[in-house]
Structure 1
């Protein structure tokens, strides 16, 4: 049994008192609404027009149900259900629970003043007036609690819905959906598109903790295959982002226009497939370019380095390393020797061998092909 039902069972207003109070119900409701308008700023412009009619009707209904309780002609529940829905509606109208509780406090004061005046005029004994007061404020407390529950439940439901919309947007971005579809998804999620997004790959368990420290517009997914998490960070300061990720197993893709975030994600995925040690994809562009088409790279190496295939493996390896250093240092023999930890005469000897194997070594096209071929060792 609720406190209101218990209080109501301890008293029953006589028919004459109830009739007198019901006669003043409309006036009481109007005074309650006017006091809320005057004293609770968020309702200053909210109780006009159709909304005002609805609220006035709700106040009269609540007061009528209260009188039914006080006269022993109703059980608790209906008023609480309406109050619960009122709390949910306040969220939809953008008002806080503080505003609604203030309205309840003002309404309780004015309603009691009117009801008490009517009850005394109807000859209600002082002892019954005291019980009437207890019932009145217990009823208001019950309505307040029901509205608070409705307000909290609606906020939670909106929060879950908002979270789902953001997740759908993130999935659409990774899938490379059309700009029009992405704009619709962003509007549905209430997400303001930035100029750019930067994809970050990291273990799923780390996604949420890192996400909380980033820009609030960051999108997060932590339920992708292979226990991978993805963050899409808006307009990231790259050096700052890398510092924030220090100590974590993360791969940071390039910044891309927000509708092309899938390209940033794709590069991060490819970088991770090359090496688990890559953190910043911008530091590994040559490897990423050369690994973009593994078959083409293998064919290029096979053709460009064909003259080395006839040599013993150890010799071929030494000559390939020398060729790589020679190309990297643009033929400066002392620098090549230092890079290989050998004597400059050794470099001279090996380069003589390489020129015999590659007679057109001075050709720009041959230099380009060999540079690409020896830039990465095949996986």
Structure 2
């Protein structure tokens, strides 16, 4: 690792045999020609999510209990069934699934091609992935650890039917009492649950309960409020007046928070639950390819692409919740934000935090 790499921040209460990757300082490239501001990056999904990775049709069909859900339809987009207590803010349709897969890609790039940073053993046997979304993390983990049994859970069955034989998906509302017994898993993976968890202490207590003594839990959350360190984003930018306004205000409307880092929900809940050897690592996710560092520029391009791919999916329900159903101005704000996302002179970023800890042996 070169001298240009620096940790954004790290706090620990114990040592870890795996050193998490450090992040390069975010320094903007000099202004480029205007035509580069509108350059779009294409998502090459070379994984082919629907390819046949397993061979047992019957077992894969049993992986997901589907067909009984009644999805809500809001302005042409489908959302998870309202039989769940959680009023989750993003759709569950194919367009959003694509953004979930792109998100997985940029987070893997951020971690230097790692799926996790917790120091789990190579012989891990049982893994739980809460909020699996498209299932891509569970699938990738199962391919890397073929001897592990991986369960991915979500509110909606939007995962592929063809998966590795050591993966299965279950419908589960993680804000309700978890259905697994005590001490069931060697590793519990939690990612991107901001806006969905009304009680973080109870949520992490559940993760602690189902983890075996000596096992690990890892949480990754992003605070989606867009920030800027160099003043390049003006006060009247749609990034502030549209996007940040919605995510500043929606939490109070639906009873959850979109600011897990500001309120330190993860680390506080890990400590309250009784984990030891807790490690905390903060990163900045640039929006766009403006950083001079190659890796962070690539990460930023995929963050940008995630948003551009489904900006409506990320903002439709927040807009209706904050501003009121069919309130005027939505399409205009959406168009303005799309233009700004292409502008390399706007050096925005979001903050991301990884927290992991070990359940004591006794």
Q: TM-score, normalised by structure 2?
A: 0.22
Structure with higher helix content: 1
TM-score normalized with structure 1 length: 0.21
